[in-house]
Chains A and B, each alone.
Chain A
Amino acid sequence: MNENLDDKILEVKNLKTYFYTDNGVVKAVDGVSFDLKKGETLGIVGETGSGKSITALTILGLITIPPGKIESGEIIFEGKDLLKVKINNLRHFRGNRISMIFQDPMTSLNPVFTIGNQLIEAILAHQKISKEEAYKKAIELLEMVGISDTKRRMKNYPHEFSGGMKQRAMIAMAIANSPSILIADEPTTALDVTIQAQILELIDDLKSKTNSSVILITHDLGVIAKYAERVMVMYAGKPVEFASINEIFYNTLHPYTLGLLGSVSKLNEQKKERLKPIKGTPPSLIDLPIGCTFAPRCEFALKVCKQSFPPVTEEVPGHFVACYRAKEFLNKSLSRE
């Protein structure tokens, strides 16, 4: 690949975040590597417990240590390894250069402060401007995220906002310091369908306006299909497939991704085809199976799959996959019945 190295705004290498609990070691993130390009939307897909949120929290340095521990890895942002930056200096990045939109807008805002108060706080934490200027900026931000009657809204408390408006306020806070990376962790799961569409459009719109990059974490393949340019599929703490959106959907090389695609009903399908779910349930992260973590649920598993985790290979330029049988999927000699 002849990629321009300057294109990469963030690079994560072999990241491992474990949690030491009384019941054993939870390998929440176990060897995640990816890169984020300038101006792109990278999707991270996976089910509950696949490690997608912990990956995001580790990037932001929000893991509680202990019980958490970052075992190994590098997070290269603007030429610096974020894992080596001192806590006090991390503030320069967190919420400023990299910011996050959380899943649940109902619990992410402080109920005892007004929206305006919280917005101004977010601005003043990183910018050396006067309170009046911050107030003006906050009003501009609220307008940007589509909240009307901003002067009155600044004085409102979170409970006076609807779910969608709270999420808009959260987004306003996240973009307050024009970050270059915006991490959206299931930004719409708690919202209604029509509001979900509004919020996702807003994030996409702001991304192109501010020329930032977005990491979009979701379990909804439809959302990925619409907004992401490249996708990383995670399973039990490990990335199993990483490719461009078209490759993931039309040239799927990992049986887990195939299973996910077979599990969702498509609204546009004329004929009612029976869903083809993956059997079984995701493994416990404390007691991971030996070999490929997906092997116990995989209909294509061979003997070797139960012995060692398959190496990540690049089957097509830019299409990475961790499966012993990826080549067979590639030349179409293997497919789900």
Chain B
Amino acid sequence: MVDDKKILEVKNLKKYFNINSGVFFGKSIGSVKAVDDISFFIKKGETFGLVGESGCGKSTVARLLIRLLRPTSGEVFYNDINIFKIKQSQMFKLRREMQIIFQDPYASLSPRMTIGDIVGEPLEIHRILDKKSRINKIKETLKIVGLNPEHINRYPHEFSGGQRQRVGIARALILEPKFVICDEPVSALDVSVQAQILNLMLDLQKEFNLTYLFIAHDLSVVKYVSNRIAVMYLGKIVEVAPSEELYSKPLHPYTMGLLSAIPIPDPRLERKRQRIILSGDVPSPINPPTGCRFHPRCPNAQEICSKQEPELKNYSKDNQVHLAACFFAGQPIK
């Protein structure tokens, strides 16, 4: 149930990390432009996918959205509230509605706490329910994510990777949030378990009318879960489109390269497919290339690309929104 109301809106968000030299009296010698002027919105009830390779700034975006980091500049509106302008105590209340599921189910659960304590901790922090009803709530939540409620006193090491990720999901869901950030929730899991977790997340979304921001590097997984997808490259959003359209009509050469790099598990089709292999590595975000940041790797690059930075523009002919930041958007790759 996607409705038109924006649950989250990001405007010109920037996050630069300073690099200091020297151990004690370090002076700033530059900055990593992890997130550099990005804007997007997420509608209520939808899944918004954010894809990009390592170092493109997608996890920094996640941390900014729940104010685990302060931005260099820019605004984030959650239900029309600017989260960087409110007091800590108000943010604390808001966090009940915004939860995050982390990538590594091995590192994100404390090995010294029982499953019950881990899942119940948010209730304790937010002082919700008394002790007895908390236990009932924990058991209920464990059941929802497909775990045996009787395992409430077990420790994380007794569980497999997939089960641990279910614990992580239970912890995020126990406060009945409205907006959940999923930061690479399945990339540490085996294929058969990945599918279980993805299905669980889709079921939970329907049941509790959740809005997801789904961050991943695997475009086939993102396409499977998302309504709309944004592609990031070196701290910038280069393309935003409905997921089906992003696959069928990619406009940005980076998106084309990314799509083409993913082999499809269908040998007849895969062997016929024309592949675009992007050359080179992702450059360092400390000194990103001038102009369009993708131009050193872009097979379509012209002179203008190294001089001027392309803006995100809408290229959709029908009523949809399909944004791309490229001077030669939609041009096939030679």
For the complex, is A125 an interface residue (Cβ under 8 Å from B)?
Answer: no
A267 touches B54 (CB 8 A): no
B263 touches A47 (CB 8 A): no
B282 touches A192 (CB 8 A): yes
B244 touches A259 (CB 8 A): no
Q: List chain A residues, Cβ under 8 A from B282.
A: 192, 194
Q: Which of B100-108, B115-123, B195-203 contacts A (4 or more CB under 8 A)?
A: B195-203
B265 touches A222 (CB 8 A): yes
Given A47-B190, A226-B270, A262-B195 contact (CB < 8 Å): yes
Interface residues in B195-230 by Cβ distance below 8 A to A read 195-196, 198-199, 202, 217-221, 223-224
Interface string of A221-240 (1 = CB under 8 A from B): 11111100000000000000
Interface string of A262-304 (1 = CB under 8 A from B): 1111111010101111110110000000000000000000000
A266 touches B190 (CB 8 A): no
Which residue of the partner chain B has the closest CB to A228?
Answer: B267
Q: List chain B residues, Cβ under 8 A from A282.
A: 190
Q: How far is the CB of A14 from chain B (nearest CB, A)?
A: 27
Q: List chain B residues, Cβ under 8 A from A266.
A: 220, 264-266
For the complex, is A334 an interface residue (Cβ under 8 Å from B)?
Answer: no
For the complex, is B85 an interface residue (Cβ under 8 Å from A)?
Answer: no
**Residue from A265, A275, A282 with most neighbouring chain B CB atoms (10 Å):** A265
B262 touches A192 (CB 8 A): no
For the complex, is A164 an interface residue (Cβ under 8 Å from B)?
Answer: yes
Interface residues in B125-170 by Cβ distance below 8 A to A read 160, 162-163
Given A201-B277, A267-B220, A277-B196, A219-B270 contact (CB < 8 Å): no
Q: Which of B21-29, B253-261, B319-327 contacts A (4 or more CB under 8 A)?
A: B253-261
Which residue of the partner chain B has the closest CB to A248?
Answer: B267
A261 touches B265 (CB 8 A): yes
Q: List chain B residues, Cβ under 8 A from A246.
A: 267-268
Cα A150 to Cα B266 in complex, Å, equals 38
Number of A-B contacts (CB under 8 A): 126
B244 touches A222 (CB 8 A): no
**Contact among A48, A192, A274 for B217, CB-based, below 8 A:** A192
Cα A246 to Cα B271 in complex, Å, equals 11
**Contact among B160, B191, B267 for A249, CB-based, below 8 A:** B267
Q: How far is the CB of B235 from chain A (nearest CB, A)?
A: 15
**Contact among B162, B195, B199, B219 for A267, CB-based, below 8 A:** B219
**Contact among B190, B224, B257, B278 for A275, CB-based, below 8 A:** B224
**Residue from A198, A201, A259, A261 with most neighbouring chain B CB atoms (10 Å):** A198
Q: List chain B residues, Cβ under 8 A from A267.
A: 219-220, 223, 247, 259, 262, 264
A263 touches B281 (CB 8 A): no
Q: How far is the CB of A43 from chain B (nearest CB, A)?
A: 11
Q: List chain A residues, Cβ under 8 A from B281.
A: 162, 164-165, 195
Q: List chain A residues, Cβ under 8 A from B220.
A: 222, 264-267
B196 touches A225 (CB 8 A): no
For the complex, is B307 an interface residue (Cβ under 8 Å from A)?
Answer: no
For the complex, is A106 an interface residue (Cβ under 8 Å from B)?
Answer: no
A265 touches B257 (CB 8 A): no
A277 touches B190 (CB 8 A): no
Cα A47 to Cα B190 in complex, Å, equals 6
Cα A225 to Cα B160 in complex, Å, equals 29
For the complex, is B194 an interface residue (Cβ under 8 Å from A)?
Answer: yes
B191 touches A263 (CB 8 A): yes
For the complex, is B176 an interface residue (Cβ under 8 Å from A)?
Answer: no
For the complex, is A196 an interface residue (Cβ under 8 Å from B)?
Answer: yes
Which residue of the partner chain B has the closest CB to A192?
Answer: B53
**Residue from A197, A267, A275, A281 with most neighbouring chain B CB atoms (10 Å):** A267
Q: List chain B residues, Cβ under 8 A from A224.
A: 265
For the complex, is A134 an interface residue (Cβ under 8 Å from B)?
Answer: no
Cα A193 to Cα B196 in complex, Å, equals 23
Interface string of A23-60 (1 = CB under 8 A from B): 00000000000000000000000011000000000000
* 27 A-B contact pairs sorted by A residue (CB < 8 Å): A162-B281, A192-B53, A193-B219, A193-B258, A194-B258, A197-B261, A197-B277, A201-B277, A219-B190, A225-B264, A225-B265, A225-B271, A260-B191, A264-B220, A265-B198, A266-B264, A267-B219, A267-B220, A267-B247, A268-B247, A270-B244, A275-B195, A277-B193, A277-B195, A277-B196, A278-B192, A281-B193
Q: Which residues of B are in contact with A by a Cβ distance under 8 Å? A: 53-54, 160, 162-163, 190-196, 198-199, 202, 217-221, 223-224, 244, 247, 257-271, 275, 277-279, 281-282
CB-based closest 3 A-B pairs: A222-B263, A277-B195, A265-B224
Given contacts A222-B270, A226-B271, A277-B195, 8 further A-B contacts (CB under 8 A): A193-B261, A194-B257, A225-B270, A246-B267, A249-B267, A267-B247, A275-B198, A277-B193
